[in-house]
Structure 1
Amino acid sequence: MIHLTRNGHVATIALARPEAKNALPTAAWQALAAAARDVGDARAVILRSDVPGIFSAGADIREFEQLQADPALRTRFRQAMREGIEAIAALPMPVIAAVDGGCFGAAVALILAADIRIAGAQAEFAITPARLGIGYPREDVARLEAQVGRGMAALLLFTGDKLRPDEVHKIGLVELKTRKAIETATAMANAIAGNAPQAVRLLKRTLGGEQTDRDFEDAFGGPEFAEGLAAFRARRSPGW
């Protein structure tokens, strides 16, 4: 269901459940968290689908009948979904979500945990809990609001309307729209991996509000700055 691969300094976490349009059951959310824990010292991560035409249909609705009847399973499902999404959000290196097909329901919450979102020409997006008579986790609503603003978050949640790449780019749900998201994400990840890895991680912590003044100052005394400065003076590429 979840495949983790590594190519040089770039790790890829791929959704691979073609028989269910990459719908994610409880076990898949747990597998997603496990994959995130196993990326090791990768300098960038691509989150993508291995199934043509779909990123993910969201949470597996076939499990929902069980949730209707069993309150304990509801808690288990919520916790597993939270574990998978937060494991992606907590990765210390940049995460790029590449969407080259449909991205619906909980899958939108998943890509909101990435740092950068790219929509391909065939991408479609919809947040559909209101059409099923359920809610959306508060953590994911907060991320959605932070990404697109309260009014647009309300529009997406209340209507469940399907949006195409031009529309999601316009409202800021994705940062880039391109012909092929995976190709663009791969080029971007390789470019990121060519930068100083600890500096990139520091910048990600800064974006998350976690950098201290000491962190900023200490970087000037670190080995990456020494190598970067030496490379600049010698007019050569730095060896990270």
Structure 2
Amino acid sequence: MIELSTTNHIATLTLNRPAARNALRIADWDALAAAIRDLPLTVRALVLHGGASFCAGADLRELETLRDDSAMRPRFRIAMATAIEALAACPVPVIAGIAGGCYGAGVALAIAADIRIAAPDAAFATTPARLGIGYPATDVARLASRMGQGHTARLLFSAQPITAHEALRIGLVEQLADDPVAAAQALAATIADNAPAAVRLLKRVLRHPDEAGHDAAFEARFGTAAFTEGLAAFAGKRKPDFP
């Protein structure tokens, strides 16, 4: 179900289980975490998408087995969390291209990306309350930091879907595009043209603003070959060629 391809420093992770609207089983969460962990060092940006339907969340048939199999509950929770946190911790920018439905754990997966681009007819819903279950605390916190507690509470407590336009208004997504995957790929290409070490540094600062060492890293960039190339490209009115 998890397909990875790499072209011109851009990795593309595709959720490919259309018959189940890309619902993720434990094995799929494991495979997703492994794919992110094993990204080539040459990758400068990552695009995540699910084709016509982003992700229906965790596989409902597998979730049903957790009712009677208590030993599998931590296995499921850890597999899901490992994949989502691997995406959030990915050192390069992650752009989610979202078409169709983005539900349940699919929303947690999308919010772990750095940037979300959705089709105008995409739909979003966090539905655990309708199933009588909860939502992982880390994912609730991430949603709240993105949208605020009020909007997060509305989505979680009501379990009602919202449109892509509403998702844009409340900050769940950053952009709408008729072809969100193409738009995500175009943005990834723009990012990949920039100095990769500088982009990674900027992502670290965004994700961990209180982490020690940011000031020293900022100063160190002025002594790099990338800065020399950036200056030369600017002076020569040409596109920079970063290693």
How high is the TM-score relative to the length of structure 1? 0.97
In the alignment, what sits opposite 1:154?
Answer: 153
What percent identity do the matched residue pairs reach?
54
- For residues 173 and 235 of structure 1, what CA distance do their matches in structure 2 show? 37
User: Are 2:215 and 1:216 equivalent residues in the alignment?
Assistant: no
Cα distance per residue 1:42-101 (max 9 Å; x no partner): 111000013x2x111100010122211111100000000011101111111100000011
Partner residue, 1:95:
94
The match for 1:33 is 33
What amino acid maps onto 2:241 in structure 1? G
Deviation at 1:135, TM superposition (A): 0.1
The aligned counterpart of 1:43 is 44
CA distance in 2, matches of 1:119, 1:236: 32
The one-letter code sitting in structure 1 at the alignment partner of 2:187 is M
Residue of structure 2 in register with 1:145 after alignment: 144
Is the aligned partner of 1:187 residue 2:189? no
Q: Is the 8 A contact 2:23 2:56 kept in 1?
A: yes
Identify the residue that residue 4 of structure 2 maps to in structure 1.
Answer: 4
**Aligned amino acid, residue 201 of structure 1:** R
**Other-structure match for 2:167:** 168
2:120–2:165 contact (8 Å) kept in structure 1: no
The structure 1 segments of at least 4 consecutive aligned residues displaced by more than 4 Å after TM superposition are none
2:18 counterpart of 1:18? yes
Q: Is the 8 A contact 1:121 1:180 kept in 2?
A: no
- Alignment partners' CA distance in 2, 1:170 and 1:14: 27
Superposition deviation, residue 212 in structure 1: 1.6
Tell me which amino acid in the other structure corresponds to 2:33. Answer: A
Aligned ranges 1:57-206 → 2 under 5 Å: 57-206=56-205
After superposition, the CA RMSD in angstroms is: 1.0
Report the AA paired with residue 49 of structure 2: R
- 1:18 shift after superposition: 1.8
Kept after mapping to 2: 8 A contact 1:96/1:189: yes
The worse-fitting range, judged by mean Cα deviation, of 140-149 and 223-232 is 223-232
**SS of the residue 1:239 aligns to:** coil
Contact 2:98 / 2:180 at 8 angstroms: preserved in 1? yes
Query: In 2, are the aligned partners of 1:56 and 1:103 still within 8 Å (CA)?
Result: yes
Q: Between Structure 1 and Structure 2, how many residues are aligned?
A: 238
The two structures have a TM-score, normalised by structure 2, of 0.95
Residue identity opposite 1:19 in structure 2: A
Task: Specify the code of the residue in structure 1 equivalent to 2:18.
Answer: P
The question of 1:230 aligning with 2:235 is answered: no
* 8 Å CA contact retained: 1:13, 1:45: yes
Classify the secondary structure of the residue corresponding to 2:67. helix
1:138 is displaced (CA, Å) by: 0.2
* Counterpart AA for 1:204: K
Q: Does structure 2 retain, via aligned residues, the 8 Å contact 1:96–1:118?
A: yes
Structure 2 SS opposite 1:152: helix
